[in-house]
Chains A and B, each alone.
Chain A
Amino acid sequence: MAISREEVLHVAKLARLALDEDELERLTAELDKILDAVGVVAELDLADVAPTPHPLDLIDVWAEDEPHESLPPEDVFANAPSEEARQFRVPAWEQ
């Protein structure tokens, strides 16, 4: 088994996905298969190889510290599911 049901549950929690029982079962089987397939990368001995986070060799890209125009309020909240007093309203964090 490349991945167990408990691990799948743990990962779902990290990813904030509320999986139901069916999904959990199906995903565990699918992920197991996929991880087996992608796990072949472990075959290669790459101890002396540096990772490549970027296919381009760019460094030092930045912008000057000059302000741009911010979004007007209509645009900020046009798609907001819940707004109050010009702020985004969310349910409280469960302690």
Chain B
Amino acid sequence: MGAVVDTLRLTAEEAKALLERGELSGAELREAYFEAIAERDGELHCFLRTVAEPDGEGVPIALKDVISTKGVETTAGSKILAGYVPPFDSTVAARVKAAGLPLLGKTNTDEFAMGSSTENSAWGPSRNPWDPNRVPGGSGGGSSAAVTAGMTPWALGSDTGGSIKQPSALCGNVGLRPTYGTVSRYGVVAFASSLDQVGPVAKTVRDAALLYSIIAGRDPCDSTTVELPEPVRLPEGDSLAGVRVGVPTELNEAEGIEPGVKEAVEQAIALAQGLGAEVGECSLPRAVRYGMPCYYLIAPAEASSNLARYDGVRYGPRVDGSSYQEMVDRTRDEGFGDEPKRRIMLGTYALSAGYYDAFYGQAQKVRTLLIQEHRDAFERFDLLVCPTSPTVAFRIGERAADPLAMYLSDVLTIPSCLAGLPGLSIPCGLSQGLPVGLQLIGPQFGENTLFRVGHALEHAIGFDTVPERWR
């Protein structure tokens, strides 16, 4: 017993092998991660809380704090849920538990998963392991930074408009946003019901695939889930012969994409060609111009309704009032931060009488167009590629004062989210010393294709997920 555990480098698959070979005990493995947390989380603030003695002898895991964990406080990054301890497990937490994975702790998130930098967390921002003065991305910055910083081998995040993919790009690791409906939302604090999906964050594509296979599949408690049409295949091999890779012009030429990002992505595409892929251009004509506006109508509208249950009646801190109305008004005003308030207001407006048709109604029609555009592209291609984020990690505070600028962080992840399609982000290089993410977008249920291509590219690229300052 007692192999030296380098948590910065150890993959979940390797950890699993060590456990199975008896070279390491479950307790020793957990201890290694708790030590890493003690060492680095003071700086990075990824964990909102850790679990003192987690159950399970498998590979430890961290869960984003929007994921309900029975008996463990779950705040969704918001004061309005401070102290809330769920009396039930979300389905994904239950499946992870059933697989024997011990819960290390809950990770930081933008409040109600609303944000692209984790700066909207009521508990303060998390920091990027590559440069602690920069954001780790959001909303799942806590999970992503924790993986890169070796504080957990893998984690679960949630993605609505890019909240798994974008932090993975900014932190230099692998994040999967699954096909809508393949992972249960039961027990996941709802942001936008037709967009939210839980997915894996890990160091390698194989790890992400393995974790996805543990959580995916129909849940009778979630009416919007389906069985996977085919089982998850752990990827192997380096050849991309026969794979048709589409490069959507609009997603690759969008305004705001940094030159360094563009270059790293182009190099990755060239590598794919070298591995045998057929690369061709395609068009998603409305994805960029109308994707973000469409998203910022649908998501806040659904959120405004999903957040109506936070009223101080059954859980969460209550601010008293002389009447029910006053109690609710005050509880919500004090409990919600600025971004949820903004989105609640936006969403309520978009649904309100006289505005529904022009805003929410119209956005749902735009969604139909975007679905069709993607479907057309997938007639000719097996997957589409583009940058995950237009920029590398920006400085903490840089965009916090300008909501619209913050929203633009998601311009490349949003369109496929609206279409319910899977997206995998893998690190493909550095720009200005910071990670660049390559986004692989698949057709519905196309995860196995994404894993296969991601895995082959991952090997070819050879990105070192350990931040330079820690090598």
Contacts and interface: CB of A to CB of B under 8 A. Distances in A.
Nearest to B70: A75
Nearest to B368: A52
Contacts of A38: 292-294, 296-297, 346, 359, 363
Contact of A91 (B286, B293, B324, B420): B324
Contacts of A16: 308, 311, 325, 328-329, 332
Interface string B16-50: 00000000000000000000000000000000000
Interface in B360-388: 361-369, 371
Given A8-B345, A46-B366, A81 B420 contact: no
A78 B73 CA distance: 12
Interface string A2-42: 01000110011011111110010001001101110111111
Contacts of B366: 41, 44, 46
Contacts of B83: 79
A8 B352 CA distance: 12
Nearest to A19: B333
B317 A81 contact: yes
Interface in A46-70: 46, 49-56, 58, 61-63
A90 interface: yes
Given A11-B348, A55-B418, A79-B316, A30 B403 contact: yes
Nearest to A56: B181
B344 to A, nearest CB: 5
A19 B180 CA distance: 35
Nearest to B370: A52
Nearest to A40: B293
Contacts of B315: 79-81
A51 B359 CA distance: 12
B224 interface: yes
Given A16-B311, A37-B293, A58-B181, A91 B323 contact: yes
A15 B328 CA distance: 10
Contacts of B311: 16
B371 A52 contact: yes
Given A46-B365, A78-B87, A17 B341 contact: yes
Contact of B313 (A39, A41, A44, A88): A88
A53 B194 contact: yes
A54 B316 CA distance: 31
Contacts of B106: none
Contacts of A39: 293, 358-359
B216 interface: no
A27 B224 contact: no
B407 to A, nearest CB: 8
Interface in B276-308: 286, 289-290, 292-294, 296-297, 304, 308
Contacts of A58: 181, 223-224, 226
A27 B87 contact: no
B327 interface: yes
Contacts of B367: 51-52, 55
Given A44-B290, A51-B364, A52-B367, A81 B313 contact: yes
B176 interface: no
Contact of A34 (B226, B289, B294, B403): B403
Interface in B42-98: 83-85, 87-88
Given A34-B346, A55-B420, A94-B324, A41 B359 contact: yes
A23 to B, nearest CB: 7
Contact of B320 (A61, A79, A91): A91
B375 to A, nearest CB: 11
B326 to A, nearest CB: 7
A90 B327 contact: yes
B469 interface: no
Contacts of A71: 87-88
**Which of A20, A93, A94 has the largest count of B CB atoms less than 10 A from its CB?**
A94
A17 B332 contact: yes
Nearest to B419: A55
Interface string B338-355: 000110111011001000
Given A18-B329, A51-B367, 5 more contacts: A33-B403, A51-B364, A75-B87, A88-B314, A91-B323
15 contacts: A17-B332, A17-B345, A31-B346, A33-B403, A34-B346, A38-B296, A39-B293, A55-B181, A55-B194, A55-B367, A58-B223, A58-B224, A71-B87, A91-B326, A93-B324
Closest 8 CB pairs of A and B: A55-B420, A51-B364, A94-B323, A75-B87, A79-B315, A18-B329, A81-B318, A46-B365
